[in-house]
Amino acid sequence: MSDLNAFVTRETVESDAEGPLSGKSVAVKDNLSTEGLRTTCGSAMLEDYVPPYDATVVARIKDAGATIVGKTNMDEFGMGGTTETSAYGPTRNPADQSRVPGGSSGGSAAAVAAGEADLALGTDTGGSVRNPAAFCGVVGIKPTYGLVSRYGLVAYANSLEQVGTLAPTVHEAAELLDVIAGPDERDSTTRDPGADAECASAADGDVEGMTVGVVSDLIEGADERVVETFRDAVSDLESEGATITEVSLESLEHAVQAYYVIAMSEASSNLARYDGVRYGVSANDASGEGSPDAGRGGNWNDAFARVREKGFGPEVKRRILLGTYALSAGYHDKYYKKAQDARAWIARDFDRALSEADVLASPTMPVLPPKLGESLADPLQLYLIDANTVPVNLANLPAISVPAGEADGLPVGLQLIGPAFGEREIVRAASAVE
Ligand code: GLN
């Protein structure tokens, strides 16, 4: 066993089915429900929670013959970008163990990068598949909103998140996506992408005639070493026959603010279910030994507060407080409604840019992977490293992170963004980058 701490629970679930994933090991992020297998979401609140059913994506990989090798570590409820907010300790980056693997699907990316699993499932609300893929030097796909079922995904921010795939190569990440994609009657936001949606075959490395729009707004302010590696990879695409243009999306400067208002608002509502009655730490466990309430839960508000004080970590508490504030009467129009307006503007801006280019390109992350412990002290700094990934979730678009090279011996990821249900376009362009 390695000391990366990539898994919260290591347990093997074999499948009797024969299919495209036969002989493949898959690591599953710990916010995807697995029947009979503990699902913690990286939280002490769900330390003992064992779901009675499989998420649709889990059922689909089992039907395709995959062997599940465990549940991977993550930022608590997906809230973070470094896998350090987990109640089960941080995961280490296999490329440099003194550094974070990115997050929140850091365990999934580290497991694939270290060869502890052939493939992995993650989830991406604002970058959580692409960010750790970039930091660990693997491929990560965040599908178009509605391509993959969210049934059985423990919700953080429903309107933003999708299940995504992580793999050593573009082709394998696309193959796993083909297995999990497609309509599900249990998630009414899923869409039928149509007959020609299969995307693994698009990984043919052929970018001849394709137009790639470099998003200038997502390069300003990025680490120079990242920008240099990114520019080199873009020049390679050009020499392979792609046309490179520059595009600018003015709305993007508001993306981080809009994202955090929306994500925290949805989170504050979703996390209300952890009340010690239906899920999570029970009120009895949370009442102090010898307290008058011990053994009987006591007053509802007190019991609710005790459960949440004990079960949630600081980042989760911060977000519930801010989200509740943003939605409260008197502030709703000032914050939540404004954020929704910004979201609509960002979506329109992408539509325009994607009418001028087949795919858009940027560095996936504006920075190199931070040292462990470095970014936790300043939450705002941590939120800003999401600048290049969150716009994609706000616009419901597909994006992929593919290794672009290294800077100072650390992996750098290149992000390609496509039009809605344009997974084949981003897979094609990404396969030319590797
Ligand atoms: N870092 C972002 C956040 O904390 C994105 C997380 C995610 O995609 N789950 O919200």
Of 69, 115, 97, 70, whose CA–CA distance to 3 is shortest? 97
Which of 293, 311, 329 terminates a domain? The answer is 311
pTM of the model: 0.96
How far apart, in whole angstroms, are the C-alpha atoms of residue 202 and residue 219?
27
Residues 36 and 140 in one domain: yes
Closest ligand 1 atom number to CA of residue 160: 8
**Are 286 and 244 in a shared domain?**
no
Q: Is 104 in the pocket of ligand 1 (CB under 6 A)?
A: yes
**Residue 116 Cβ < 6 Å to ligand 1:** no
Q: Is 128 a catalytic residue?
A: yes
- Residue 410 phi/psi, 5-degree rounding, is -110, 145
Q: What share of the chain is helix, strand, coil (3-state, %, to 5)?
A: 40, 15, 45
Q: Which of 311, 327, 357 is the endpoint of a domain? A: 311
> What CA–CA distance (Å, rounded) separates 183 from 40?
27
pLDDT at res. 139: 99
Residue 33 maps to a domain: yes
Question: Are 13 and 37 contacting, i.e. CB atoms less than 8 angstroms apart?
Answer: yes
Nearest-CA neighbor of 397 among 430, 428, 360, 429? Answer: 360
Residue of 79, 319, 367 to test ligand 1 pocket, by largest number of atoms within 8 Å of CB: 79
Instruction: Report CA(103)–ligand 1 centroid distance (Å).
Output: 7
Residue 46, H or E segment: none
Return the ligand 1 atom nearest residue 386 CA. 1
22 belongs to the catalytic site: no
- Determine, yes or no, domain membership for 63: yes
**From the CA of 73, how far away is ligand 1's center (Å)?**
14
Cβ of 164 less than 6 Å from ligand 1: no
pLDDT in tens, the chain (434 residues): 458 999 999 999 999 999 999 999 999 999 999 999 999 999 999 999 999 999 999 999 999 999 999 999 999 999 999 999 999 999 999 999 999 999 999 999 999 999 999 999 999 999 999 999 999 999 999 999 999 999 999 999 999 999 999 999 999 999 999 999 999 999 999 999 887 789 999 999 999 999 999 999 999 999 999 999 999 999 999 999 999 999 999 999 999 999 999 999 999 999 999 998 887 787 777 765 444 444 454 688 888 899 999 999 999 999 999 999 999 988 888 999 999 999 999 999 999 999 999 999 999 999 999 999 998 888 888 899 999 999 999 999 999 999 999 999 999 999 999 999 999 999 999 999 99
Helices (H) and strands (E) in the chain, counts: 13, 11
Nearest atom (ligand 1) to Cα of 315? 4
For residues 297 and 403, membership in a common domain is answered with no
Ligand 1 pocket, residue 125 CB under 6 Å: yes
> Is residue 132 lining ligand 1, measured as CB closer than 6 Å?
no
Considering the domain architecture, whether residues 306 and 407 belong to the same structural domain is answered as no
| Residue-number span of the structural domain to which 299 is assigned | 275-311
At 224 the three-state DSSP class reads helix
Same-domain check for residues 284 and 152: no
Residue 260 CA, ligand 1 centroid: distance in Å: 9
Is 431 labeled as catalytic in the residue annotation?
no
* Core vs surface per residue 269-305: b (16+ CB within 10 A) or e: bbbeebbbeeebbebbebbeeeeebeeebbeeeebbe
| Span from the CA of 53 to the centroid of ligand 1 (angstroms) | 25
State the distance from the centre of ligand 1 to the C-alpha of 411, rounded, in angstroms. 20
Q: What is the CATH number of the domain that holds 181?
A: 3.90.1300.10
Buried-state track 25-61, b at ≥16 Cβ within 10 A, e below 16: bbbbbbbbbbbebbbbbbbbbbeebebeebbbbbbbb
Q: Please give the structure tokens belonging to residue 419.
A: 């039009």
Domains: count for the chain: 2
Q: Is the CB of 323 under 6 A from ligand 1?
A: no
* Residue among 128, 142, 162, 315 whose CB has most ligand 1 atoms within 8 A, to mutate: 128
CA of 125 to the centre of ligand 1 (A): 5
Indicate which atom in ligand 1 lies nearest the CA of residue 127. 8
Out of 104, 268, 362, 375, which one is annotated catalytic? 104
Q: Is residue 339 part of a domain?
A: no
Examine residue 17 and state whether it is found in any structural domain, yes or no.
yes
- Domain-embedded: residue 178: yes
Regarding whether 15 and 78 lie in a shared domain, the answer is: yes
- Residue tagged active-site, from 86, 105, 128, 375: 128
> Which tokens go with 313?
């970590």
Same domain, 118 and 193: yes
d(CA 236, CA 243): 11
114/137 Cα distance (integer angstroms): 10
pLDDT at 298 (0 to 100): 67
Q: Do 136 and 282 fall within a single domain?
A: no
**Looking at the structure, do residues 392 and 427 belong to the same domain, yes or no?**
yes
Q: Are residues 74 and 105 part of one domain?
A: yes
What is the Å distance from ligand 1's center to 263 Cα? 8
The CB of 393 under 6 Å from ligand 1? The reply is: no
Closest-CA residue to 66 (of 29, 113, 13):
13
Q: Are 224 and 348 found together in one domain?
A: yes
Q: Which structure tokens are listed for 222? A: 């990025």
Does one domain contain both 157 and 302? no
Q: Which three-class secondary structure state does DSSP give residue 78?
A: helix
pLDDT score recorded for residue 290: 44
